[in-house]
Structure 1
Amino acid sequence: MGDRAGLVRVVTPGPVAAVASQAETAFESGAVTPSESRPCPAQPRVLVIDPAPGESAIPELAGLAELGLTPTVNLRRVTDQNLRSEISRRWHSIDIDGFRADDIVAAFENHGGYDALKCRAGIPLTRGAFERLTASTHGQPLRMVAKAASGLDSFDLDAAAERGVTVLSTPGANAGAVAELTIGLMLDALRGVARRDAALRAGDWRAAIDGIPVRSLADSRVGLIGSGAIAREVAVRLAPFGAEVWVHGSPRFTARDAEHWPARWTGTLRELMTGCDIVSVHVPSTAATAGLIGARELRWMKPGSILVNTARAQVVPEDALDAALRDPECGLGHVAVDVFATEGTRFTSPLASNPHTTLSPHVGGMTVQAMKASSAQLLTEISRFYAS
C-alpha cells in the first residue's frame, strides 16, 4: 500500500510503506488533519528528548540543525559534563523527565510547541499526550515524531494518525546489535557466567563450579519466534556455533521463505516450543502478540530449557515467567531477558528475586555502530519528511 499524507508511517530502510488501516478509515472520513496540510513553520523546532549517546550526540544534533530545524535538547539522560556543556553552548537545552508525558507536554506549553519530537527510548505518547501536543494553541503544534529505534509500542499510533502526526522509526538498524546480545544471553544461560562470577567474588569456589558439566550451543536446538531482521541475524550468527536452528514466524512467513534462512521452518508455535532447548523471542509488541507466550505455552517447554526475550515484555509477561520457573511441573530451567514492563529509574520485576534468571537493562541495540546507523537512518527519513 502506498504512502498517504497524515497517516501513521513506520519507516523501513526502503520506501515508507506501512499504513494503519484504522488511520486510513479516519483519513477517508475526514477525521484526520494531515501533518502535511498544516503549513511547515519557517523555522521548525524539534524537541530532542534523548540525543544519541556519547560521541554520536553532537553529529546527530548538528545533522538536525543542517536540515533547518532548531533543536531543544533535554539533558536529563546526558551524564557526561563536557557533553552537557557543549550541547548547552550550541543549542537551547532543558531538563525534564522524558518518561513522563506531563513533562513533555509542559515543555511544549512553556516553549510555544515543537514541530517535531525526536527520541530513542520508549517515551509514553498516549492519546491524551498527542491531543495536547497537537493543540492549535501552540505556536508549533506537533506534526512529526521520529524515534531512533524500531519499537513503537509506547506510542498510541491510532491517536497519532487521528491527530495527523507522522511517526518515523528505524527498524533493522540495530538488528545485528540485538542479535549479538541475544546470543550472549544464551551463552550466559548455558554456561552460568554471571552466576559463577558472583560466587567467586563471594569466595565460594564450590558454588562457582556447581552444575558442571554444562550443555553448549553446539549441543542445543535453538527456536526463534519471529521472522524479522533481528531473528534472521540471530540465525546467521548462530551458524558458526553449530547450533541447530528452527524458526516460526508470522502467518506470511512460509516454508519457502525459510529456505533462504540457515534454519528449519516450523508450522506451529507448539512444535517449536516442545522441540527446542532454547527459545528466543523476536516479535513486536502488538495487540496480536500481547501474551503470546503465557503459562500454557511455557508448560510446553522441555525439561531444563531456556527462554530468551529481547523483544518486548508484553509478549512474554514477567509474572508468567517467574511462576513457570517456580513450578516443579514446568520444564523451563532458565530465563534471560533484556526487556521489562517497567523500565528506567522506576524498574521493578518479579524476575529480580528469581535465582534462575539473567537480567539485562534493555541495552540490546545500544552499541556504537547500531546507534550511529539509527541516527543516520533517522536523519535521512526526517529529511524526506521535510522535503515532502
Structure 2
Amino acid sequence: MPNNRLSVVVTRRLPEAVETRLKELFDVTLRDDDTPMTRDELAGAMAEADVLVPTITDTIDAGLIGQAGERLKLIANYGAGFDHIDVETARARGIMVSNTPGVMTDDTADMVMGLMLAVMRRMQEGLTVMQGGEWQGWAPTAFLGTRIGGKRLGILGMGRIGQAVARRARAFGMQIHYHNRRRLRPETEEALEASYWESLDQMVARMDVISVNCPHTPSTFHLLNARRLRLMKPSAVIVNTSRGEVIDENALTRMIKAGDLAGAGLDVYQHGFRGNPELVNMPNVVMLPHMGSATMEGRVEMGEKVLINVKTFADGHRPPDQVVPAML
C-alpha cells in the first residue's frame, strides 16, 4: 500500500510527547541532536518535504524559499513570532505559514514580572555577592532597591501578553498605562484599569517601567530608539521579553553605562542570541537566554498547536493559525 502520509521535517528537538504524536500522524523526520540546522540542511529539507516545522533559530528567507521544492506547501512554525520567516515570499510561492499564538501568554507575562522584580530589587547583585562568597552580613543600607507598588508601568503593545502583564502588575499595585496601534475597547480598558497614550513619546517620558510586548515588524524596528530612550527618566527601568529589534540596544547600553537609565531586564536581543557584551557584567542588567516561554506546559501546548495546524492542512483545510497579511 502506498504511503500517503505527509512528509514533515522538524528542525529542532521538541518535547517527547509532541514528537511521539508527530510520528503517529505523519512521515516525520526528527532532529537527532538539539542543534540548529545549517542553511544547507534547511534547503535540503525544504526541497523534499511537504511541511517544514522550524523554530525561531531558523532564518527562512527569500533565498531559501526560492530553493523549496514543489511539494512544500506549509511552514508550520513552532512559536508565535514569525519575523524569521519571509512570509510574503512564501505566500507568493503558494506556501502557507502558520504559527502558535496564545499558548505562551501567561508564561511570558510571568517572566515580565520576574525580570521587573529582579532589576528593581537588585537580585542580580545579591546573587553575585552570595555566589562569590562575599556577603559580610545584613546592613540597613545594603542593596536598597525600588518598591514596585505605586509605580507607573508603560506597556508597549497591548495584545494578549500585554494585557496579561497588566493584570499581574495591577495585583502588585502598579498603575497601568499603554501605547498600542489601536486603542482597546472601553470595557477592556476599564477591566484592566489602564490608561491609553496616543503619543509614545509622552508615555515613555512619564513611566517608571517600560515593558516591551509588541512584535517585531518594519514599523516597530527601533521603536525605542536613542531619541525616545533619552526621554525616559533616569530612574526608569526597561523590560523586554518580546523582540530585541524593538530597542536600539547600543543606545540602551550607552544610557545604562552613563547612569541615564536605572537598569534593564532582557530576555531577547537585537543581534540573535547574544546581547551587547558591555551589558553582560552590568550589575543593574538582568539577561536571560530567551526563557519567556520556557515551561514544559507551554512548549507542549505549542507543539499541540503545530499538530493541529499540520493535521488541518493534511485534511485539505487552511490551518487555524495561518499567518495572514494583516498580521505583517
Q: TM-score, normalising length from structure 2? A: 0.88
Looking at structure 2, the residues matched to 208 and 334 of structure 1 have their Cα atoms a distance apart, in angstroms, of: 24
CA-CA distance at 1:343 after TM superposition: 3.7
Instruction: Structure 1: give runs of 5+ residues left out of the alignment.
Output: 1-40, 78-95
Within 5 Å, give how 1:108-187 maps onto structure 2.
Answer: 108=46, 113-134=48-69, 136=70, 141-187=71-117
- Confirm or deny that 1:366 pairs with 2:328: no
CA-CA distance at 1:97 after TM superposition: 3.4
Residue 18 of structure 2 corresponds to 60
- Confirm or deny that 1:239 pairs with 2:170: yes
Report the residue type matching 2:22 in the other structure. Answer: L
Change (3 A) 1:262 1:76: farther
Report the residue type matching 1:101 in the other structure. Answer: R
| Aligned residues of 2:56 and 2:81 also touching (Cα < 8 A) | no
Within 5 Å, give how 1:1-388 maps onto structure 2.
Answer: 42-52=4-14, 56-57=15-16, 59-67=17-25, 69-77=26-34, 97-98=36-37, 100-108=38-46, 113-134=48-69, 136=70, 141-205=71-135, 212-253=143-184, 257-328=188-259, 330=260, 332-344=261-273, 347=274, 349-350=276-277, 351-388=279-316
User: Which region of structure 1 is more displaced relative to structure 2, 254-263 or 372-381?
Assistant: 254-263
Looking at structure 2, the residues matched to 207 and 156 of structure 1 have their Cα atoms a distance apart, in angstroms, of: 55
CA-CA distance at 1:348 after TM superposition: 5.1
| Aligned residues of 2:56 and 2:82 also touching (Cα < 8 A) | no
Looking at structure 2, the residues matched to 103 and 195 of structure 1 have their Cα atoms a distance apart, in angstroms, of: 42
Looking at structure 2, the residues matched to 249 and 62 of structure 1 have their Cα atoms a distance apart, in angstroms, of: 40
Q: TM-score, normalising length from structure 1? A: 0.75
| Aligned residues of 2:239 and 2:265 also touching (Cα < 8 A) | yes
CA-CA distance at 1:172 after TM superposition: 1.2
| Aligned residues of 2:56 and 2:84 also touching (Cα < 8 A) | no
* Larger RCO, structure (CA 8 Å, separation 6 or more): 2
Looking at structure 2, the residues matched to 262 and 182 of structure 1 have their Cα atoms a distance apart, in angstroms, of: 19
Change (3 A) 1:208 1:152: farther
Report the residue type matching 2:43 in the other structure. Answer: V
Runs (4+) of structure 1 exceeding 6 A deviation are 207-210
Secondary structure, aligned partner of 1:238? helix
CA-CA distance at 1:76 after TM superposition: 2.5
User: Which region of structure 1 is more displaced relative to structure 2, 305-314 or 349-358?
Assistant: 349-358
User: Which region of structure 1 is more displaced relative to structure 2, 238-247 or 282-291?
Assistant: 238-247
Secondary structure, aligned partner of 1:223? strand
Change (3 A) 1:318 1:207: farther
The alignment covers a number of residue pairs equal to 312
Instruction: Kindly provide the CA deviation profile for residues 62-93 of structure 1, in whole angstroms up to 9, marking residues without a partner as x.
Output: 322343x211011221xxxxxxxxxxxxxxxx
> What's the C-alpha RMSD, in Å, of the aligned pairs?
2.2
Report the residue type matching 2:112 in the other structure. Answer: T
Looking at structure 2, the residues matched to 308 and 240 of structure 1 have their Cα atoms a distance apart, in angstroms, of: 18
Report the residue type matching 1:72 in the other structure. Answer: T
Instruction: Structure 2: give runs of 5+ residues left out of the alignment.
Output: 317-328
| Aligned residues of 2:237 and 2:263 also touching (Cα < 8 A) | yes
CA-CA distance at 1:277 after TM superposition: 0.7
Q: Identical aligned pairs, as a percentage?
A: 26
Change (3 A) 1:207 1:101: farther
Looking at structure 2, the residues matched to 337 and 124 of structure 1 have their Cα atoms a distance apart, in angstroms, of: 22
| Aligned residues of 2:247 and 2:270 also touching (Cα < 8 A) | no
Change (3 A) 1:358 1:166: same
Report the residue type matching 1:104 in the other structure. Answer: L
